[in-house]
A and B are shown apart, each in its own frame.
Chain A
Amino acid sequence: MREVHYQEIVEKVADMCQRANYDLGEDVVNAFKNALQTEVSETGKDVLLQLIENAEIAATERVPMCQDTGYAVFIVELGQDCHITGGSLYDAINDGVRKGYGEGYLRNSIVGHPLERVNTGDNTPAVVHVEMVPGDKLTIHMTAKGGGSENMSALKMLKPSDGLQGVKDFILETVKQAGPNACPPIIVGVGIGGTFEKAAYLAKKSLFRPIGERSSRPEIAALEVELMELSNKLGIGPQGMGGRTTALDVKIEIYPCHIASLPVAVNINCHASRHKEVVL
């Protein structure tokens, strides 16, 4: 049994929180640059240039690219032969978030009670999903998920008879509804199948995949490309001010489902698609 110490997780998580907010991934920056080549709207081009400049300032000056430094969401792959010592995994992650957000001058955006709405003051608790995997490694994936785009996400329990067309219609309708609110160009995360909560989890999980990385299933990869093209025909454009760049990517994850069900979840991400990972 391999051992990973609590404090090591705290330090890595704290570092990830800061890097996620300062260093926009190359996949996203490249997607902005590619979009600049195809965007036809002058306002849209202006927005893309501003986003590229913004990412440069954030990385150089070590400041958050966006004031919404997000809900810290983690997907942890815990090897079944890995033992965490010195405390619980959840506590370690929350300690890391507390440290990272505090030391990194990141905004605390979490309220401790959804109705009483008092800020917890340290951006905790994080949302943590743990998947048990073979092996002795601990892989931590983190995203700083913005609230504006999260709010534009949706889930629908379709009928099996709605089929592929029903799925496409719902995804596009959600993108359309999100419009400028979700800070386009967006990344569209989709979960199809499973149960109510599984579909939502898959949609979130898909957003951890880098932009441009297609599903390993050919039919789903084709659907991702098709939905991206259809999204970009909606005219919404960068920041919703009109243009051809509405989505930088569409990501789809699927799972088997009940004979009676066809759940579809759409988790919208803003252009600041922040995802980092460490392997311990």
Chain B
Amino acid sequence: MSAKHISTPLTDDVIQSLRAGDRVLISGIVYAARDAAHKRMIELLDKGETLPFDVQGQVIYYVGPTPAKPGQVIGSAGPTTSGRMDKYAPKLLDLGLKGMIGKGYRNQEVKESIVKNQAIYFASVGGSGALLAKAIKTQEIVAYEDLGPEAIRKLTVENFPAVVINDSFGNDLYMEGTEKYRQD
């Protein structure tokens, strides 16, 4: 099964062409943000203020990288558990966020929001941070530098490997994959 090359920002055509289980190689801009950054972003929205970056059409990568060694673009940068961002994701999807990269289950509300907003959820391989960092070509801190590894970063990625978990049609690879290989 070969991987599909896709670019960000994600268009509806691309999103509709993808199905749970598809392997993709993502190129373009993705934004790194995890727990504390999400908390702050939602607090801004609750106060009626604007986000530090426009999420419209964008992809957020749930990652908190290690510090870069001299000469490196970024340290190790694999996905963190997405479920911790479930509380915040539907609001961002309603604002036009199109893609999320992480690992692990999403709750029902997020899955429904993915379908409603024609978005998509990818997982990359948790724990392969040394390998995934190689697909990150530039990084720049966009906001919340004080959060250290949890700051929001603008990343340029090239052929970043991921797998579609929840597609815009309501399919879920975690359910289907487990079902397929379960032996009773």
Chain A residues near B (Cβ < 8 Å): 40-43, 46-47, 50-51, 53-54, 57-58, 61-69, 105-109, 117, 119, 121, 146-148, 151, 179-181, 183, 233-237, 239-244, 270-272
**Is B174 a contact of A241 with CB atoms below 8 Å?**
yes
Contact status A235-B182, CB under 8 Å: yes
Known contacts A66-B127, A179-B105, A181-B81; A234 and B182 CB within 8 A of each other: yes
Report the bound CA distance from A241 to B162 in whole Å.
Answer: 12
Asked if A180 and B134 make an inter-chain contact with CB atoms under 8 angstroms apart, the answer reads no
B176 contacts A58, C-beta separation under 8 Å = no
Return chain A residues, CB-CB under 8 Å to B163: 43, 239, 241
Counted as pairs of residues, one from A and one from B, with CB atoms less than 8 Å apart, the total is 172
Q: Which residues of B contact A40 (CB under 8 A)?
A: 181
Which residues of the partner chain A approach B177 to less than 8 Å between Cβ atoms?
41, 43, 235, 237, 240-243
Closest to A230 in B: B183
State the 4 A-B residue pairs at the shortest beta-carbon distance, nearest first: A242-B177, A235-B182, A181-B104, A235-B181
B179 at the A/B interface (Cβ < 8 Å)?
yes
Chain B interface residues (CB < 8 Å from chain A)? 1, 21, 23, 36, 63-69, 72, 75-78, 80-81, 83, 103-105, 123, 125-131, 133-134, 147-149, 161, 163, 165, 173-174, 176-184
Chain A, residue nearest B150 (CB): A119
Q: Which residues of B are found within 8 Å of A41, using beta-carbon distances?
A: 177, 180-181
> B174 near A119 (CB under 8 angstroms)?
no
Known contacts A53-B131, A179-B104; A235 and B179 CB within 8 A of each other = yes
Known: A40-B181, A181-B104. 9 other contacts (CB 8 A): A43-B21, A66-B78, A107-B65, A117-B36, A148-B81, A179-B174, A233-B184, A235-B178, A240-B105
Chain B hits for A43, CB < 8 A: 1, 21, 23, 163, 177
Kindly report which residue of chain A lies nearest to residue B67, judged by CB atoms. A105
Chain A residues within 8 Å of B182, by CB: 233-235
Within 8 Å CB of A181, what residues of B?
81, 83, 103-105
Determine how close the nearest CB of chain B comes to the CB of A69; give it in whole angstroms.
6
Q: Which residue of A lies closest to B69 (CB)?
A: A105
Tell whether, in the assembled complex, residue B69 and residue A270 are in contact, meaning their CB atoms are under 8 Å apart: no
Say yes or no: A239 contacts B69, CB within 8 Å: no
CB distance A236 to B104 under 8 Å?
A: no
Expressed in whole angstroms, the minimum distance between the Cβ of A60 and any Cβ of chain B is: 9
CA distance A243 to B181 in the complex (A): 5
Q: A42-B1, A109-B149, A234-B178 are in contact. Are A66 and B68 (CB under 8 A)?
A: no
In the complex, chain B residues whose CB is within 8 Å of the CB of A68: 64, 78, 80, 127, 129
- Residues of B near A106 (CB, < 8 A) are 66-67
Nearest B residue to A183, CB-CB: B126
Selected contact of A180 from candidates B36, B131, B149, B174, CB within 8 Å: B174
Q: Return the chain A residue nearest B1 by Cβ.
A: A42
What is the CA–CA distance of A236 and B1 in the complex, to the nearest angstrom?
20
B85 CB, nearest partner CB in chain A, Å: 12
Task: Find chain A residues with CB under 8 A from B125 CB.
Answer: 47, 50-51, 54, 239
Partner of B75, one of A107, A119, A237, A270: A107
**CB nearest neighbor in B for A42:** B1
| Inter-chain contact A180/B105, CB cutoff 8 Å | yes
Partner of A240, one of B64, B104, B147: B104
B145 to A: closest C-beta gap in Å: 12
Instruction: Across the interface, name the chain A residue whose C-beta is closest to B83.
Output: A181
Q: For residue B133, which residues in chain A have a CB less than 8 angstroms away from its CB? A: 63
Does B174 lie within 8 Å of A240, measured CB to CB?
yes
Please tell me which one of the listed residues B67, B123, B134 contacts residue A57 in the complex, with CB atoms under 8 A apart: B134
B176 to chain A, nearest CB (A): 7
B127 and A51 form a contact (CB under 8 A): yes
Q: Which residues of B contact A117 (CB under 8 A)?
A: 36
Q: Smallest CB–CB gap between B9 and chain A, Å?
A: 25
A108 lies within 8 A of B148 (CB): yes
A107 contacts which of B36, B72, B127, B149 (Cβ < 8 Å)? Answer: B149
> In the complex, what distance in Å separates the CA atom of A47 from the CA atom of B79?
14
B183, A67: Cβ atoms under 8 Å? no
